[in-house]
Amino acid sequence: MPSSAPGADTPSDSTIWVVPATPPTLGVHEAHLWCLDLDAPGGAETAPDILNGEERARAARFHFERDRHRFIAGRTALRRILATYLNRTPADLVFTVGPHGKPALENLWLEFNLSHSGGCGLLAVTRGRRVGVDVERVRADFACEDIARRFFAPAEVEALSSFAPDQYATGFFRCWTRKEAYVKARGDGLSLSLQHFEVPLSTGTTRALVSSVEDPAEVERWSLRELVPAPCHLGALVVEGGAFELRTWEWAPAPAAVPAAP
């Protein structure tokens, strides 16, 4: 799924997604981003041996098999990737949930955040820095001025009004993913109004915020990277603190075991 060739309505992107030959080491001043193909064969094959009872129960509640497979593949990849950094067994990882629903690892130093849109997933991992990531498929039928006026800051709505009609959806989802990534990094969930802070809509910027009504100092606390993880998709990564090195990886599920011939 990962590609450096964007879709017709997404900006250009030069990110190279690499399957690591050996488990990568996570530096203090690094952010690692993993691209997950949740529709890849083998992504959910070993789930019964990795997921806990609550995760298996959640998977069973999905009505459609495709959605169930994507959830299992995402949770399996999450556990396998995090366990590699921690030198632990994937099934032994214990997750907690913050007061506003953000998952975390119990009593461990690794910060992470997972997002997906359909079969495209992104997993961000940092060492001791809060992090948030969001990915969305660019859809012109969803990106509309009514939704922008309802959820975005007035300055963002005004900025979007200057976009050409064929670029409006790209601008809309650029704004949406950056706002969602920031909210997820803070871990505030729905308690933080999307209208109380403004994100930049330009490409190439590394500043996550333009302004914050609640705390103007927030503008200096967060950094941003825009992402194009797959054709016709946009993503945003928000990391606590200043400059960091972004390293991007592609997750390759372990191939399913082939039964031995009788």
Q: For residue 134, what are the β-bridge partners? A: 236
pLDDT of residue 42: 73
Tens digits of residue pLDDT in 183-200: 999 998 778 899 999 999
Give residue 113's pLDDT band: very low, low, confident or very high (50, 70, 90).
very high
Residue 109, number of CB atoms within 10 A of its CB = 11
pTM of the entire predicted model:
0.90
Give residue 10's pLDDT band: very low, low, confident or very high (50, 70, 90).
very low
- DSSP letters, the chain, are ---SS--TTS-------B--SSPPP--TTEEEEEEEETTSTTTTTTGGGTS-HHHHHHHHT-SSHHHHHHHHHHHHHHHHHHHHHHTS-GGG--EEE-TTS-EEETT-SEEEEEEEETTEEEEEEEESS-EEEEEEE--TTT--HHHHHHHS-HHHHHHHTTS-GGGHHHHHHHHHHHHHHHHHHHT-GGGS-GGGEE---STT--BS-SEESS-GGGGGTEEEEEE--STTEEEEEEEESS--EEEEEE--PPPPPPPPP-
pLDDT of residue 262: 37
- Residues 174-185, mean pLDDT to the nearest whole number: 97
pLDDT of residue 59: 93
Residue 18 clears pLDDT 80, i.e. is over it:
yes
Q: Which CATH superfamily is domain 30-250 in?
A: 4'-phosphopantetheinyl transferase domain (3.90.470.20)
pLDDT of residue 4: 35
Tell me the domain boundaries of the chain. Answer: 30-250
With a CB cutoff of 8 Å and minimum separation 6, the contacts of 193 are none
Tens digits of residue pLDDT in 225-262: 999 999 999 999 999 998 899 999 999 886 544 334 43
Please choose, from the candidates 123, 30, 120, 132, the residue with its C-alpha nearest in 3D space to the C-alpha of residue 80: 123
Fill in the amino acid letter for 92. D
Percent of all residues in the chain with a pLDDT value above 70, rounded to a whole number: 89
- What is the C-alpha to C-alpha distance for residues 65 and 80, in angstroms, rounded to an integer? 22
Return the axis-axis angle of helices 53-60 and 65-86, rounded to nearest 10°: 160
- What is the C-alpha to C-alpha distance for residues 224 and 241, in angstroms, rounded to an integer? 10
Residue 47 clears pLDDT 80, i.e. is over it:
no
Distances from the Cα of 135 to the Cαs of 10, 24, 259, in angstroms? 13, 23, 37
pLDDT of residue 46: 58
- What is the C-alpha to C-alpha distance for residues 212 and 196, in angstroms, rounded to an integer? 6
- Residues 68-76, mean pLDDT to the nearest whole number: 94
- Residues 20-30, mean pLDDT to the nearest whole number: 94
Q: What contacts 24+ positions apart, CB below 8 Å, involve 173-176?
A: 173/136, 173/138, 173/139, 173/143, 173/234, 174/201, 174/203, 174/226, 174/234, 174/236, 175/148, 175/199, 175/201, 176/134, 176/136
126-135, 140-149, 221-230: which range is least confident on average? 140-149
Residue 6 clears pLDDT 50, i.e. is over it:
no
